[in-house]
Chains A and B, each alone.
Chain A
Amino acid sequence: MKILVAVKRVIDYNVQIRVKEDGTGVVTDNVKMSTNPPDDNAIEEAVKIKEAGKATEVVAITVGEEKAQETVRKALAVGADRGIHVKVDGILEPLAVSKILQKVVEKEKPDLVFMGKQAIDDDCNQTGQMLSALLNWPQATFASKIDVKDNKLEVTREIDEGLETIEINVPAIVTCDLRLNEPRYASLPNIMKAKKKPIEEIAASDLGVDTSSRVEQIKVEEPPKRKAGIKVANVAELVQKLKNEAKVI
């Protein structure tokens, strides 16, 4: 079984986001970038499945600008076998990314495609589902547990009401929740070894897909700020304030 794992480079989850004054976006210059957190879970799961002898190859792919390759390199350092970097300029919408992934899937013929359930930058939560639609494959979204059984997967999904378990036939798409596993850190020797693993570079323009933007960003602004609150001295004062000032209890 071959697993393709899609990873995205985003502003690190610990960075305090600042909106650009001209309203064109958020500040990314000199800001720490990392792999989208649930994409790390996707890589970890694929590597674990391979370590359990149930997969033969793990291929990490990213669609992004020059520096996005760092995320593939990181995936190689934690156990992916090889990488693919589809180079694009600027930011693509999930529909365009899923079309690019579709082309790569048609060529690579993986049995499974894993990725994070949501990117923490645009918070779209679309790419995995869109790719499944384009390929007409089953989709297991928001996965917190995956059991590989021959040519099937049993996946536990986190839903608003609790947990749901589904069984899907491969080939299939799984989008991963943060609770799926605990991503490992890359050891220094593995980081060195990863530098020798191959990364194939593909120009998005060579794939013949329409990646034009359909959703125009008019402006980006800071959300309204909450007015500063107060500290109360004790519980009695807190309850009194909630009862008589805020009038919420």
Chain B
Amino acid sequence: MAVLLIAEHNNKELRPFTLNAATAASQIDNDVHAILIGNNSAEAAKQLSELPVIKKVLSVEAPHYENFTAENFAPVVVKLAENYSHIICSANTFGKNLMPRIAAHLDTSQVSDIIKVISSDTFVRPIYAGNAFATVKSNDAKKCVTIRPTSFDPCESSGGSAPIEKIDAAEEFSNTKFVKREEIKSDRPELGTARIVVSGGRGMQSGDNFKLITEIADKLGAAIGASRAAVDAGYISNDHQVGQTGKVVVPDLYIAVGISGAIQHLAGMKESKVIVAINKDGEAPIFSVADYGLEADLFEALPQFMEELNKLNTIQK
């Protein structure tokens, strides 16, 4: 039986992690079908059909799919489930919200947030904020699996031409109404996929001081992250939070500024390739995961950092 990937998109185009989830799906079985549930979302469905790993696209459009409400999405997937061995989705807020609703309808015990596919029924997933890795085997006939996007490379995005089959919409769930979405628009790279992330913590002391980080991020073409403490204190919005209950990032370079390094924060960034910590407390736990630690007052170090960057002839983008 084929596996079914649930595509994440914004009705116009695929969201980047769909490509990572497609890779994970293709590691479970070669025969990957993908469903795109949306409204006026034909263009996104076409993009999906161009992923070479996808063999068939199912597309369903209706006004009540405009805002990705799990209560509306779940019945569509549940209806198709009998044809599939696995249902796959990213373990981001889209998939975390949706997949358990599907799994419960199918009486399946979901496997969340896998970082590795061992076989079609056995997976590795982090538990305890990544302080332990569990290898688990699902004995359910049908498996619902969410994947940690940053643990799988994105698949090729062009060259495929899977057939697109239109399917019927399910009934609208009337007890949940979308009101509004406040998306923070930015020209910077997305936090989840950025090559470099510069993050600030409680040590930043104010939202204003984040401009020291912004400046460096702009120079490096980096995304901006934050610890939960910085978000809780109102220095920066929640979409920047890195950690156990925020986003997991695996950039080539992660620069942690004024972040002490609570285990909940480390859970979101300690797989980064190179980690830099700038903190005035030499005993801060962040130094235990840092490749390069600088014990310094960030208010002196960040302007100097900017100066040094300005001296460089070239900066990789």
Chain A residues proximal to chain B, CB less than 8 Å: 11, 13, 16-17, 19, 26, 38, 93-96, 98, 117-118, 120-134, 137-139, 141-142, 144, 154, 157-169, 172, 177-179, 213-223, 226, 229-232, 234-236, 238-239, 241-243, 246, 248-249
Contact = CB atoms under 8 A, between A and B. Distances in A.
B238 A161 contact: no
A217 B125 CA distance: 11
B315 to A, nearest CB: 6
B262 to A, nearest CB: 9
Interface string B169-189: 000010111111111100000
Given A126-B103, A133-B74, A167-B179, A216 B137 contact: yes
Contact of B231 (A98, A179, A243): A179
A246 B316 contact: no
A225 to B, nearest CB: 9
Interface stretch (B50-58, B154-162, B291-299): B291-299
Interface of B: 67, 69-71, 74, 91-94, 96-105, 107-113, 122, 125-140, 173, 175-184, 192, 196, 220, 228, 231-232, 237-239, 244-245, 247, 252-253, 263-264, 270, 273-276, 282, 287, 289-296, 301, 304-305, 307-309, 312, 315-316
A162 B2 CA distance: 34
A215 B253 contact: no
Given A94-B110, A118-B245, A163-B181, A214 B139 contact: yes
Contacts of A243: 312
A120 B129 contact: yes
A142 B92 CA distance: 12
B133 A221 contact: yes
Contact of A133 (B69, B100, B294, B309): B100
Nearest to B313: A243
Contacts of A157: 93
A230 B291 contact: yes
B126 A172 contact: no
A162 B128 contact: no
Main SS of chain B's interface residues? mixed
A231 B128 contact: no
Contacts of A125: 91, 96, 100, 112-113
Given A166-B178, A215-B139, A236-B308, A130 B294 contact: no
A220 B100 CA distance: 23
A8 to B, nearest CB: 14
A214 B109 contact: yes
B141 to A, nearest CB: 10
9 shortest A-B CB distances, which residue pairs?
Answer: A129-B100, A214-B109, A133-B104, A130-B104, A17-B131, A126-B100, A229-B291, A235-B304, A239-B308
Contacts of B176: 138-139, 166-169
Contacts of B92: 160
A216 B180 contact: no
Contacts of B96: 125, 129, 141-142
Contact of A162 (B110, B181, B253, B309): B181
A123 B113 contact: yes
Residue of A16, A141, A158, A238 ringed by the most chain B CB atoms within 10 A: A238
Contacts of A220: 127, 132-135
Contacts of B107: 95
Contact of B133 (A120, A133, A223, A229): A223
A122 to B, nearest CB: 5
Contact of A139 (B101, B263, B309): B101
B312 A249 contact: yes
6 contacts: A13-B263, A139-B176, A161-B239, A215-B109, A230-B292, A248-B316
A162 B183 contact: yes
Given A11-B128, A163-B182, A215-B136, A235 B294 contact: yes
Contacts of B137: 215-216, 218
Contact of A164 (B110, B180, B252, B301): B180
A163 B70 contact: no
Residue of A125, A177, A226 ringed by the most chain B CB atoms within 10 A: A125
Nearest to B240: A162
A142 B70 CA distance: 13
Contacts of B131: 16-17, 19, 26, 222-223
Nearest to B125: A123
Given A230-B292, A246-B291, A248-B316, A162 B100 contact: no
B238 A124 contact: no
Contact of B139 (A128, A161, A216): A216
Contacts of A248: 196, 252-253, 273-274, 316
Given A166-B177, A166-B179, 13 more contacts: A94-B110, A95-B107, A126-B99, A127-B100, A133-B104, A141-B93, A159-B181, A165-B181, A172-B175, A214-B109, A226-B291, A235-B294, A249-B253
A215 B111 contact: yes
Nearest to A247: B316
Given A144-B238, A177-B245, A223 B130 contact: yes
